[in-house]
Amino acid sequence: MENNDNTAVKEPVVALENVVISYGGEPVLKDVSLRLEGGDFAYLIGKSGAGKTSLLRTLYADLPVESGVAKVCGFDVVNIRRREVALLRRKIGIVFQNFRLLPDRSVRSNLEFVLRATGWKKRNEIQAQIDKVLGAVGVADKADMLPTRLSEGQQQRVGIARAIINNPQLIVADEPTGNLDPVTSAEIMQLLLDINKNTGTTMLISTHDFMMMDRFPARVLVCENGGVTDTEN
């Protein structure tokens, strides 16, 4: 009998099963299983050295998976080929604690560098996309300034603009409020939540900022004892 059900089953954005992750030859996480669907927002917490950053790096293929099953944005990151890594990273936006902006280039040039590196060619489309994301994060008037002339909160907004510039499926943020004061931290967290709500981009936020977690409650994943505990389960 012909199947007339045309409803597509969407794959999860992140699906890890019994994943083992090592760093420097030593196992950091020994049994990680988690699943993030499209539009999910989750915090990742745990003590220093528990493996939070290692887990995030694994998701964008910056750290290899020793064993297990790991699929991210449609890619098998256990067996990913080098030429596929760039394609995976076009689907992932990364926000760092220390911003990692190029200090000798303007905000606009920082974002143009990312777009050209990921295959954008037409100058008018590049400039339009830059203007769009800078407006979305509230720093449209800073486009021609050097990052060093911006406040830390403004630099993080630019970092978030860089993360969303290719319309990613997934954003991973490693302590995005770690260098910020409480007021600015709240503004950045609200911005990430707004992006999640308005675009459906899946978010995984590593943090020690329990004040922000109380203010903006969401699902919590805990790195502990070599694994990840999901508080939803």
**Strand (E) or helix (H) holding 200:** none
Specify the residue for token string 């999901």. 230
Q: For the ranges 153-157, 176-180, 229-233, which has the lowest average pLDDT? A: 229-233
> Phi, psi (5° rounding) for residue 11?
-75, 150
Element (H, E) at 93: strand 92-95
**Helix (H) / strand (E) containing 130:** helix 123-137
**Are the C-beta atoms of 129 and 108 separated by less than 8 Å?**
no
Residue 33 CA to residue 224 CA, distance in Å, equals 13
pLDDT of residue 28: 87
- pLDDT range class, residue 9, cuts 50, 70, 90: low
pLDDT score of 185 more than 50 = yes
Residue 2, burial from CB neighbour count under 10 angstroms (0-12, 13-18, 19+): exposed
